[in-house]
Amino acid sequence: MFLRFFIAFLFALIIGVGFGFSQNPTPTPSPARVVDDKQNVAPERLQGVPAIDPNYRSDDRSMPDLGRVGVNMTDQKPLTLAEAITLALENNKDIEVTRKNVKIAEFDLKAARGAYEPHFTGQSYYERSTVPNVSIFSSNQKTTQGSFIGNAGIQGYVPRFGTVLNANFNNQRVTTNNPISILSPQLNSSLSFSVTQPLFRGRRFDQPRRAIEIAKRNLSLTDTQFRQRTIDIIANVQRAYWDLTYALRNLQVQRDGVKDAKDQLEHNRRLVNEGQLAPIDILAAETQVANFEQSVYDALNAVGVAENNLKNMISQNRNDALWGKSVTPVDSVDLETPITTLAQALDAAMQNRPELEINQAQKDINVLDQRYFKELKKPQIDLVASYSSSGIGGTQNPNFSTPFPLPCQTDPTSPACQQQQANLAALTGNPYSGIFANKYPIFRVGVQFNLPLFGDKTSRAQYGRSLVEGERLVTQREQLEQNIQVDVRNALQALRTAEARLRAAAIARENSVKQYDSEQRKLDSGQSDIYKVLDRQTALTTARSNELRAQTELNKAISDLQRATGNSLKANNVEARLRK
């Protein structure tokens, strides 16, 4: 008996000593050491953190409003992708601005062509002047003369050769009190024609012809820009449409997740009543329901954002009735994936991408600039030819007098008097008879020139600049082609990746369904616990959402490939044209 007591006492002593050596006493907190102005302290002992409402808890259990702001969810608006694209092209403000730019370019072309339209010119006025008499042959102290002027002319062009044609018809009626004037009123008329033909500068190309050709290129340029903007709008609408489709279907998935979580909660309660689960396991299922409800609210918010984004593209204005409706995409998400090779896609892009057409139009305008500035380097020498025919008429001045005796005053029967009377008769009467009888013709032929003394530095500099601009456009095209190649490669890679991701997501979803069902059966047979079931349930909901996201990304990848190859218009049966 004594020996047993001694052994027990010794064993207890050894155990006590062992605990004494193995357990560390509670260390005394040591002051923080400052090393390089930094405090080495444990995170839970960090000083200087303000306590802001540390006892906050949300006790509100009321159900929030699950509607979308400003949307009547009972007023459904079924919408196909084709309808969304049509509405966007009809109502989008960027498209409307581009339409206006095309119309502006059309008016610019008409204005440029107007430079060669014939012009009718003229002037008509009455003038009365009084001047002092400085002639020894008149006894008047001053002379008063009245003139009525009526002139008209037509100017035309021969655009191909830069020829300028002019025709002028001038008329003047003059009355005077000057006694030495034979006629009062005196009628003066003339008809003239002139031709100005550039010999060097401006014969083959000039500023009006340059303006017309540039206006033509600008019109094709704005047409191409209109088509480019149309392609961008289509691609953006496609992406917004599929985003809304995903958001709505994901909302359904999250809603189904809440339903599954509530079913699992009721199932757990039955198992608790049967004694197979502990009452605490119900709390885990309730937490799962609350978490899934949060996902529903997040998914609902995503629907609102996606719907507003699509409405912003297709609505006419902020007062459009569409804003109050619930847009429901009705197109199938299972699109046919295009089958194409890299070479085929690149060839299509090089033929269809508007950026290359825009660059080509800019190069065409640069060629016109080079041609024009090269033309300005030539000497300006013009051939000028003109013809005019004049006529005179009127009535003999009743106040006519002369300080010298006239033949008819000295000898009315003399030949000189007869000649004087014949000359006076030729002057009086209709002036137009003299014009058409070609009594007083004037012919003129010559050249006119305008040459710089020290060379035309301005034209040479402008021509040099146009050459450098052409080189820049060539380099820019090379960069555009390379960027297009990158776009096509990335679009094809994204398409193939999206296909693979969809396949993997579908397999993951199928397996998640099987795993969830299996885990539920294990729970019912007592071979699993509630936490594994809830994990499988969460994984299933995530897999369903991921599959929808993968399908959406595939559809968006298809639209991106259409945009990269410039095939968006043809693929969606859209014709880019102006709305008259």
Q: What digits encode the pLDDT tens for the residues 194-239? A: 999 999 998 999 999 999 999 999 988 888 888 899 999 999 999 9
pLDDT the model gives residue 409:
62
Is 230 inside a domain boundary? yes
pLDDT the model gives residue 410:
66
Residue with tokens 């044609």: 165
Is 13 inside a domain boundary? no
Full residue range of the structural domain in which residue 416 is found:
121-201+381-450
Domain end call among 425, 450, 475: 450
pLDDT the model gives residue 363:
95
Query: Which residue type occupies 416?
Result: A
Q: 3-class SS at 135?
A: coil
410, 552: one domain: no
Is 52 inside a domain boundary? no
pLDDT the model gives residue 12:
45
159, 97: one domain: no
Q: Are 225 and 416 in contact (CB under 8 A)?
A: no
476, 328: one domain: yes
Domain end call among 450, 476, 507: 450
> E strands of 95-204, at which residues?
119-132, 142-158, 163-176, 183-198
Helix (H) or strand (E) holding 423: helix 415-427
Low-confidence ranges of the chain (pLDDT < 50): 1-36, 580
Helix (H) or strand (E) holding 75: strand 72-79
Rounded to whole angstroms, the Cα distance separating 550 from 296 reads 20
Give me the number of domains the chain comprises: 2
242, 96: one domain: yes
Helix axes 530-564, 457-524, angle to 10 degrees: 160
Is 111 inside a domain boundary? no
319, 350: one domain: yes
Is 159 inside a domain boundary? yes
Cα–chain center distance at 515: 52
Q: Which of 302, 273, 267 is nearest to 285 (CA)?
A: 267
Q: What is the CATH number of the domain that holds 536?
A: 1.20.1600.10
Is 112 inside a domain boundary? no
Positive/negative CA dihedral, 104, 107, 111, 112 = positive
515, 479: one domain: yes
The 8-class DSSP code of residue 400 comes to: -
Is 73 inside a domain boundary? no
Is 18 inside a domain boundary? no
pLDDT the model gives residue 498:
94
566, 525: one domain: yes
229, 169: one domain: no
Q: 3-class SS at 163?
A: strand
365, 389: one domain: no
Q: Which residues contact 249 (CB under 8 A, 6 or more apart)?
A: 333, 548
pLDDT the model gives residue 28:
45
250, 365: one domain: yes
523, 555: one domain: yes
Domain end call among 426, 450, 474: 450
532, 487: one domain: yes
